[in-house]
Amino acid sequence: MTAALRFGGKNALVTGGGGGIGSAVCRKLASEGARVFVADASGEHANAVVAKLRASGAEAEALIFDLTSAEACRDSVAQVERDHGAIDVLVNNAGAMRRGALLDTSEADWDLSFQVNVNALFHMCRAVLPGMIASGGGAIVNTASQWGMTPAPGHIAYNVTKAAVVSFTKSLARDYAPSKVRVNAVCPGEIHTPMLERGIAEKGKTVADLDAMVPFGRIGKPEEVAALIAFLASSDAEYICGACVEITGAQAVA
């Protein structure tokens, strides 16, 4: 099977689809034939991605809803299934980063981190799994983080929630592999996204400063993470289930 046909006739839902990595994932899956559902809390961002996908000839729809609401997740998935059939690929990519060591982290930031980074996966997978199982299987790819494998200093809420994503991924894979639902995760290091640019600006650093810390010579691109996600979601990775794959340019957590 050629790469261009890997997702022909398949429905793919990407949360955080209006963001840096999420929009790259949407473009990649659409370029390989998927009907893409761009899920985001921001209608402006989701609709902008959909407009570009449609301009390229792809099938795409925006789904605007609050991932922290179990009801909204169920209703959005039900809408897709009612209109287009089961979701074949779910990419849980939406995330929130709140910086700070424990004494610098508010209860609100801690709660939000779990709501977006962990609870949303619970809600989305519960909504999508019955349809996947009934249709004979599917693929779920979660966006964790290198920091979920090895924690970075000063980011306790993000580290802990992304470690939970790693555990969630492995647990879900063990439970639903018999139903031919493959669950994997990507664990990116520093990736050049708008969120990263905002973070380094707050610290008075530049992208060049980060590039110098990576053995490969530069930080990653959203398109490179998207390519890995597409591989894990495709039939090329048919026997990969329960994997959490780091994509870091060999950069260690400092």
* C-alpha to C-alpha distance for 61 and 155, rounded to whole angstroms: 34
Residue 153, pLDDT > 60, answer: yes
158 is catalytic: yes
Mean pLDDT value of segment 241-252: 97
Residue 203 neighbours by CB under 8 Å, 6+ apart? none
* C-alpha to C-alpha distance for 138 and 235, rounded to whole angstroms: 10
Residue 124 maps to a domain: yes
Each residue of 41-56: pLDDT tens digit? 999 999 999 999 999 9
Q: How many domains does the chain have?
A: 1
Residue 253 maps to a domain: no
**Phi and psi dihedrals of 91, rounded to 5?**
-115, 110
> What DSSP letter does each residue of 104-130 carry, written as one string?
G--HHHHHHHHIIIIIHHHHHHHHHHH
Residue 198 pLDDT: 83
Residue 37 maps to a domain: yes
pLDDT band of residue 3 (cuts 50, 70, 90) is: low
Residue 202, pLDDT > 90, answer: no
pLDDT band of residue 195 (cuts 50, 70, 90) is: confident
* Catalytic residue (one of 65, 147, 158, 231): 158
What's the DSSP call for residue 100?
A: B
Mean pLDDT value of segment 232-240: 98
- Domain ranges, residue 218: 3-247
CATH of the domain at 136: 3.40.50.720
Name the percent of the chain lying above pLDDT 70.
98
Residue 18 maps to a domain: yes
Cα–Cα–Cα angle for 96, 100, 102, nearest 5°? 110
Residue 193 maps to a domain: yes
Residue 102 maps to a domain: yes
Residue 110, pLDDT > 80, answer: yes
* C-alpha to C-alpha distance for 116 and 46, rounded to whole angstroms: 17
> What DSSP letter does each residue of 159-204 carry, written as one string?
HHHHHHHHHHHHHHHHHHGGGTEEEEEEEE-SB--HHHHHHHHHHT
Residue 254 maps to a domain: no
The model's pTM is 0.95
